Amino acid sequence: MNKGNKIYEGKAKILYETDNPDQLIQYFKDDATAFNAAKRGTIDQKGVINNKISAKMFEFLQSQNIPNHYIKLLSDREMLVKRVEIVKIEVIIRNVAAGSLCRLLAFEEGARLSQPVLEFCYKEDKLGDPLINEDHVRALKLATDEEIATIKTYAHRVNELMTKFFKSLNIDLIDFKLEFGRYQGKIILADEISPDTCRLWEVGTQRKLDKDRFRRDLGNIEEAYQEVLARVSQ
């Protein structure tokens, strides 16, 4: 697989063209940012670990009939993916209050929500990825009504599947962020699924095994990411 032109570089990943116009190489960096890049750093080996964890999660979700962009691993830091047109919405599902929900609505961190809470954010760095609702999605023409319905159905199903999956590894899925894309006229899951994009707490100890260790300077970041990789590889 020949690596062609770089077509996009984000905070954590780079996308390269390939010989096939329908496929891209997704390269995972060690760079880490938080609070809309106000905080920057690197996490040793993060790119390697997140590439492998994402591959596992996409393989699992594919086996459960959630279509996604993953094709195969190419190297330690690279996976081959379907080339999608990304929907400019970050879809967040929360099972337990943490992070921005605590700041926004004064929930206590760790409070279990009476039902999963789905949020949309407008994926626009210069606006700081603001929280939006479905009317904003329509007004901004980010997705059609049919696409919104599909995205919500997939997001809730992913929550059910990943909650069970992580529970079997003694990990509580607190919340996570998904991104979707359009491929051959259909909505499929894209981007990554990793400790950068999920909050994962060890059952019992509530030890944080995710990017909050970086956001909040809790230390032992690489160890936490390795721990998640070891468990999803079981």
Residues that bind ligand TMP (CB under 6 A): 92, 98-101, 129, 175-177, 196-199
Query: Minimal distance in Å, beta carbon 197 to ligand TMP?
Result: 4
Give whichever of 74 and 113 is closer to ligand TMP, judged by the CB atom.
113
Query: Minimal distance in Å, beta carbon 232 to ligand TMP?
Result: 16
Distance of CA 88 to the CA centre of its chain: 14
State the residue number with the nearest CB to ligand TMP. Answer: 99
Query: Minimal distance in Å, beta carbon 130 to ligand TMP?
Result: 11
Give whichever of 100 and 226 is closer to ligand TMP, judged by the CB atom.
100
Query: Minimal distance in Å, beta carbon 47 to ligand TMP?
Result: 15
Give whichever of 176 and 180 is closer to ligand TMP, judged by the CB atom.
176
Integer-rounded Cα Rg, in Å, for the chain is 17
Query: Minimal distance in Å, beta carbon 2 to ligand TMP?
Result: 30
Give whichever of 129 and 134 is closer to ligand TMP, judged by the CB atom.
129
Give whichever of 48 and 118 is closer to ligand TMP, judged by the CB atom.
118
What are the tokens at 65?
């009939």
